[in-house]
């Protein structure tokens, strides 16, 4: 057996301490704050921000996918025809037309929902945050993957909950049973079933059924975080977990990867009982999601522009994936392994066991190339030999040069260690 | 002595309970969720939403103040010249130009800050939420006014903290001492020094000095919530509390009342030590505030359009205040009292002691007029004879008709009770 109970990983850079202040902040911080973890990605990004650095670190969509010309027209239309409502306060639940459009797209995929099951959130990060806030007490456990999305781990930690990572599906039931025996029954199972961040792996229908079976058996909620699902380049679409159980699954969606991240529009699909609680939580958090952006997004969907642009985005990212895979084949030294994702934005790369990508980072940054260490995605501090590589953002030339530099850095490290 | 330790007010409508769900939500909700209070304003607003109802309930800015034509131009400019960054993910701290513009406006008012003291938030509600999250543990106390802003109370409750209300400044020190003696030392003093919501009252410099003196004496932080400060119609500007102590005050600002609410742009001004902690908290909450809206706001300020529009807004609201005061003089029955605010958006109205504005609301809604019960702003359930009246949103004709209807409803209630 190979599961981990949570240990904090140590490599995380803690908030700075300023000793000279009149008020000693350390003494009055909440336990939530003391349990928060600064995003390792953010700190790496600040190092990787120099123009000479080729960075595979961010999870940025390609700006070529931003429908700038369509936006020019739609924004003028919104300002011409509905400025008074689009610039005013809005409902906490979100723009009604947008909720209808989102519900419509999901019902076409087999979900039994209406707009009443849709809460617009300020990014899907807020979706995770609000769900954490209404369900997690300090010490509560959450099952997640090893690796899993860093932002979700951050949200769980920020409420003093403990993500418990599992490496393989087969560990799920034993982990749940053990936690129950320890009187630490998990509140939910956090999953990213399609093109998982960072691993790029997609769960097949059997795996989804198994997770739901365990959830029903032990009466757990399932969080289906789904930012990448629509970015499938090939292979067979798997059913959404929400379509397989609409009483136990909470679904998070976002426009950040399929439309644009700058609007920060996400959503939660859930039973109305849960939406009702989330609305109360959202009232005290930001009252409502930016209203103008929602009006623009609603119109963009109504006009059918979303589907058109999505098709182009998939084509672009498919080519980018093919290109980076070709570069990896060409340049990577023996012993390095990587995933071949059917969609999404990331490759997940492993060095031989025993190597640490944090050490590699220090070599790589001298070669002017950056990535995210895989450890950041492992709630138990494991995964030290892994890293996440984004392929959506960069052009072909920079990608090839970046892979060359990365391969060189890896060779250097492997040689030094010999 | 007349201060209150916190009792939950009872009139709040609790979240609905749905008995038929597969997962029993009640059993797994967090203590935070169980302590959350649904906004009474929101529920009143839903009743007041029928077109025949004249509503003084919302705190909505007047749409005539929205600079629609300027926005048309600026949005095109942003899409022409900086679309790639304005539609992409942004920094958690916020748009650098916007932070500079905001810092510049405050330094002109005597604050010793730079952009490093500015964190852009998704509405000033998020400013309150994040500050609560990093400082408040369950059971922690916060000093606030009786009455005080409902959204702040909601945020405090959502982290299981206890707002402790004081009616008069003179109660402040005794309340602090008592709480310390009970081992419940407050984390901070929450204030809205300019045109307080809902009372419309402004603290003079002596009152501000006194609050800061107590804060220093007992080593407390002061939250200066400042959404209305720039909407002064008359009288002398008082110094910002942050300008009087830049180590102990955390300042919240927003564009919601002076530019437009639909962008949901607020900010926190604080010592960098605190900003640093808030940034970590914001990472897991929504990663960054909507980026396009920030770029538009930055350009709007850079072009000097903000100041121009603010002047017009003040003029408009001053006239509206004068008009509603004239209507109150003309129509209100004897025994009704109201404030004469020097700025802001609200009148605060009192019925004779012993009357309950919740009863009045039921009469008023039959007369097709609505307001917010004052009790909603009192963390201890007091203030039952008070109500908040907004004057920024409605035109003169509807305002007069609304005051007539309200006066009629009050007369009916007073007569019934005789």
The alpha-carbon radius of gyration of chain A (Å, integer) is 22
Closest Cα in chain A, distance from residue B117 (Å): 14
Q: Are residue A222 and residue A78 in the same domain, yes or no? A: yes
Q: Are residue A49 and residue A123 in the same domain, yes or no? A: no
Of A158, A163, A125, nearest to A144 by C-alpha is A163
Residue A23 scores a pLDDT above 80: no
Q: What is the ipTM of this complex?
A: 0.94
Q: Are residue B254 and residue B320 in the same domain, yes or no? A: no
Residue B82 lies in a domain: no
Q: Are residue A268 and residue A206 in the same domain, yes or no? A: yes
Residue B176 lies in a domain: yes
A276 in contact with chain B, both atoms CB, cutoff 8 A: yes
Contact list in B for residue A248 (CB cut-off 8 A) is 22-23
Backbone angles phi, psi at A385, to 5 degrees: -95, 10
Q: Are residue A251 and residue A383 in the same domain, yes or no? A: no
- Give pLDDT, residue B288: 96
Q: Tell me if residue A148 falls in helix, strand or coil.
A: coil
Distance CA(B371)–CA(B381), nearest Å, equals 17
Residue A258 scores a pLDDT above 60: yes
Residue B363 scores a pLDDT above 80: yes
Residue B12 scores a pLDDT above 90: no
Q: List all residues of chain A from 363 to 382 with a beta carbon under 8 Å from chain B.
A: none
- Give pLDDT, residue A19: 54
Name the DSSP class of B57.
-
Q: Are residue B286 and residue B312 in the same domain, yes or no? A: no
B108 in contact with chain A, both atoms CB, cutoff 8 A: no
Residue B276 lies in a domain: yes
Q: Are residue B228 and residue B295 in the same domain, yes or no? A: yes
Percent of chain A with pLDDT over 70: 93
* Domain count of the fold of chain B: 2
| Strand bridging mode A249-254 / A265-269 | antiparallel
A72 in contact with chain B, both atoms CB, cutoff 8 A: yes
Judged by average pLDDT, the poorest of A32-41, B244-253, B307-316 is A32-41
Q: Which of A66, A133, A273 sits opposite B25 (nearest CB)?
A: A273
Contact state of A88 with B157 under an 8 Å Cβ cutoff: no
Name the DSSP class of B315.
H
> For residue range A61-115, what is the model confidence (pLDDT) as tens digits?
999 999 999 999 999 999 999 999 999 999 999 999 999 999 999 999 999 999 9
B94 in contact with chain A, both atoms CB, cutoff 8 A: no
Residue A379 lies in a domain: yes
Q: Which of B76, B137, B292 sits opposite A30 (nearest CB)?
A: B137
Percent of chain B with pLDDT over 90: 87
Residue B10 lies in a domain: no
Tokens 């519900």 belong to: A103
Percent of chain A with pLDDT over 90: 87
Q: How many other CB atoms are found less than 10 A from the CB of residue B246?
A: 18
Distance CA(A93)–CA(A277), nearest Å, equals 11
B276 in contact with chain A, both atoms CB, cutoff 8 A: yes
Name the DSSP class of A122.
E
Contact list in A for residue B219 (CB cut-off 8 A) is 23
| Strand bridging mode A221-225 / A249-254 | parallel
Judged by average pLDDT, the poorest of A53-62, A88-97, B338-347, B408-417 is B408-417
Contact state of A88 with B63 under an 8 Å Cβ cutoff: yes
Please check whether residue B369 is in contact with residue B53, taking contact to mean a CB–CB distance below 8 angstroms.
Answer: yes
Q: Are residue A285 and residue A366 in the same domain, yes or no? A: no
A50 pLDDT band, cuts 50/70/90, is confident
Of B166, B170, B206, B205, nearest to B189 by C-alpha is B166
Residue A204 scores a pLDDT above 60: yes
Query: Which residue of chain B has the CA closest to A259?
Result: B87
Distance CA(B383)–CA(B356), nearest Å, equals 9
Distance CA(A43)–CA(B23), nearest Å, equals 39
Q: Are residue B325 and residue B285 in the same domain, yes or no? A: no
Q: Residues, chain A, total?
A: 418
Residue B4 scores a pLDDT above 70: no
Provide the CATH number for the domain around residue B318: 3.90.1150.10
Q: Which of B89, B271, B284 sits opposite A60 (nearest CB)?
A: B89
Domain span at residue B199?
A: 88-306
Contact state of B137 with A31 under an 8 Å Cβ cutoff: yes
Closest Cα in chain B, distance from residue A328 (Å): 27
Secondary structure in 3-state letters for B118-182: EEEEECHHHHHHHHHHHHCCCCCEEEEECCCCHHHHHHHHHCCCEEEEECCCCHHHHHHHHHHHC
> For residue range B85-115, what is the model confidence (pLDDT) as tens digits?
999 999 999 999 999 999 999 999 999 999 9
Q: Are residue B167 and residue B298 in the same domain, yes or no? A: yes
Query: Which residue of chain B has the CA closest to A134?
Result: B33
Give the contacts of A314 (CB within 8 A, at least 6 positions apart). A230, A231, A232, A233, A343
A15 pLDDT band, cuts 50/70/90, is very low
Contact state of B18 with A272 under an 8 Å Cβ cutoff: yes
Provide the CATH number for the domain around residue B207: 3.40.640.10
- Give pLDDT, residue B63: 97
Please check whether residue A294 is in contact with residue A98, taking contact to mean a CB–CB distance below 8 angstroms.
Answer: yes
Closest Cα in chain B, distance from residue A163 (Å): 14
> For residue range A288-330, what is the model confidence (pLDDT) as tens digits?
999 999 999 999 999 999 999 999 999 999 999 999 999 999 9
Please check whether residue A3 is in contact with residue A174, taking contact to mean a CB–CB distance below 8 angstroms.
Answer: yes
Contact list in A for residue B39 (CB cut-off 8 A) is 280, 283
- Give pLDDT, residue B39: 78
How does the average pLDDT of chain A come out, rounded?
92
Q: What is the mean pLDDT of residues A109-132?
A: 97
Boundary of a domain, candidates B262, B289, B306: B306
Q: Which of B16, B71, B79 sits opposite A71 (nearest CB)?
A: B79
Extract long-range pairs of A76-79: CB within 8 Å, 24+ residues apart.
A76/B72, A76/B75, A76/B76, A77/A299, A78/A292, A78/A295, A78/A296, A78/A299, A79/B68, A79/B71, A79/B72, A79/B75
Q: Are residue A174 and residue A313 in the same domain, yes or no? A: no
Distance CA(A134)–CA(A150), nearest Å, equals 20
- Give pLDDT, residue B158: 97
Residue B139 lies in a domain: yes
Supply the DSSP string of B359-402, one letter for each residue: HHHHHHHHTTEE-EEGGGG-TTS--TTEEEEE-SSS-HHHHHHH
Judged by average pLDDT, the poorest of A252-256, A270-274, B4-8 is B4-8
Contact list in B for residue A134 (CB cut-off 8 A) is 29-30, 32-33, 36
Boundary of a domain, candidates B306, B325, B355: B306
Residue B128 lies in a domain: yes
Q: Tell me if residue A98 falls in helix, strand or coil.
A: helix
A33 in contact with chain B, both atoms CB, cutoff 8 A: yes
Tokens of B45: 């607003």
A20 pLDDT band, cuts 50/70/90, is low
Contact state of A30 with B136 under an 8 Å Cβ cutoff: yes
A395 in contact with chain B, both atoms CB, cutoff 8 A: no
A394 in contact with chain B, both atoms CB, cutoff 8 A: no
Residue A240 scores a pLDDT above 90: yes
Query: Which residue of chain A has the CA closest to B136?
Result: A30
Tokens of A380: 């138990």
Tokens of B343: 């700025």
Boundary of a domain, candidates B262, B286, B306: B306
Judged by average pLDDT, the poorest of A26-35, A345-354, B11-20 is B11-20
Residue B76 lies in a domain: no
- Give pLDDT, residue B414: 87
Q: Are residue B132 and residue B235 in the same domain, yes or no? A: yes
Distance CA(A125)–CA(A266), nearest Å, equals 8
């Amino acid at each position: 057996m190979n599961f981990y109970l949570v240990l904090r990983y140590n490599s995380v850079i803690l908030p700075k301490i300023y000793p000279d202040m009149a008020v000693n902040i350390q003494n009055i911080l909440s336990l939530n704050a003391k349990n928060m973890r600064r995003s390792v990605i953010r700190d790496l990004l600040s190092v990787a921000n120099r123009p000479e650095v080729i960075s595979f670190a961010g999870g940025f969509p390609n700006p070529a996918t931003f429908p700038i010309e369509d936006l020019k027209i739609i924004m003028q239309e919104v300002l011409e025809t509905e400025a008074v409502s689009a610039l005013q306060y809005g409902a906490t639940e979100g723009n009604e037309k947008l909720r209808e459009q989102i519900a419509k797209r999901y019902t076409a995929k087999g979900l039994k929902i209406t707009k009443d099951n849709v809460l617009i959130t300020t990014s899907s990060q807020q979706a995770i945050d609000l769900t954490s806030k209404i369900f997690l007490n300090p010490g509560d456990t959450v099952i997640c993957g090893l690796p899993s999305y860093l932002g979700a781990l951050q949200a769980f930690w920020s409420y003093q909950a403990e993500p418990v990572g599992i490496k393989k599906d087969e560990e799920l039931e034993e982990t749940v049973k053990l936690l129950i025996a320890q009187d630490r029954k998990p509140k939910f199972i956090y999953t990213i079933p399609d093109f998982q961040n960072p691993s790029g792996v997609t769960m097949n229908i059997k795996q989804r059924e198994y997770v739901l079976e365990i959830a029903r058996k032990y009466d757990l909620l399932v969080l289906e975080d789904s930012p990448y699902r629509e970015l499938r380049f090939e292979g067979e679409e798997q059913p959404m977990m929400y379509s397989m159980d609409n009483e136990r699954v909470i679904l998070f969606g976002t426009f950040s990867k399929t439309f644009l991240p700058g609007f920060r529009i996400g959503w939660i699909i859930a039973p109305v009982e849960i939406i009702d609680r989330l609305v109360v939580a959202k009232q005290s958090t930001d009252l409502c999601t930016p209203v103008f952006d929602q009006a623009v997004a609603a119109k963009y969907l109504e006009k059918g522009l979303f589907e058109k642009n999505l098709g182009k985005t998939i084509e672009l990212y498919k080519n980018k994936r093919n290109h980076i895979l070709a570069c990896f084949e060409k340049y990577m030294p023996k012993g390095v392994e990587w995933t071949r994702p059917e969609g999404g934005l990331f490759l997940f790369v492993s060095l031989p066991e025993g190597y640490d990508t944090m050490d590699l980072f220090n070599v790589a940054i001298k070669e002017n190339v950056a990535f995210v260490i895989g450890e950041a995605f492992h709630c138990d501090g494991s995964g030290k030999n892994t890293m996440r590589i984004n392929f959506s953002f960069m052009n072909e030339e920079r990608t090839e040069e970046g892979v060359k530099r990365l391969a060189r850095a890896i060779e250097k490290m492997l040689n030094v260690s010999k």
